[in-house]
Amino acid sequence: HGLAEAGADVVSPSDMMDGRVGMLRKALDREGFTNVSIMSYTAKYASAYYGPFRDALASAPKPGAEHRVIPPNKKTYQMDPANYREALREIRADEFEGADIMMVKPGMPYLDVVRMMRDNSTLPVAVYHVSGEYAMLKAAAERGWLNEEEAVLEAMMSFRRAGADLILTYYSIEAAKWMAGDSMKLKL
């Protein structure tokens, strides 16, 4: 509850451990933070699209001490990209445990899962447009292969069309400026 004490409106446990949402909800409520929302990583897939983020943080799995076994990837606890039905089980578990928002990560390769969540829950659905998705659009735009603004706004629209209520993206500042046009100047 340290984040709630610091003023966070939403907490979002990324580890996806079973029971985590319920444990957080109980702890927040016990400490009087009943208005702090929990955004669950309901469907966090083991994906190649996290590469740029992992490289930037040097968080890619790598060898540790001799006695420590480091898996070659994070597939031991992130969802199998081929397993569509697991997301249905996670929706039910997160709703039961007290999640306020459900998230799909990454976004574009899993628009079908976003739609499935929208169709199977009344909770808000968030989608995380991750670093690899951002990097693909940025690189293609830098090479002149596509119009960055048009491609990004089309990607954001596809998330909404699939059923997302919230979009988390590295393009948030640019997308807000593009959508607002010249009538609004955002400051960092």
Task: Please give the helix or strand (H or E) that residue 120 lies within, else none.
Answer: helix 111-120
Q: Is 105 a catalytic residue?
A: yes
Angle of helix 85-97 relative to helix 20-30, nearest 10 degrees, comes to 20
Distance CA 15, CA 58 (A): 17
Spot the catalytic one: 26, 75, 105, 138: 105
DSSP letters along 29-77, please? HHTT-TT-EEEEEEEEB--GGGHHHHHHHT-S----STT----SSSTTT
Spot the catalytic one: 44, 62, 75, 138: 44
Q: Quick one: CA torsion of 118, 165, 168, 173, rounded to 10 degrees?
A: 150
Q: What angle do CA 38, 24, 44 make, to 5 degrees?
A: 55
The residue type at 61 = P
Catalytic residues: 44, 105
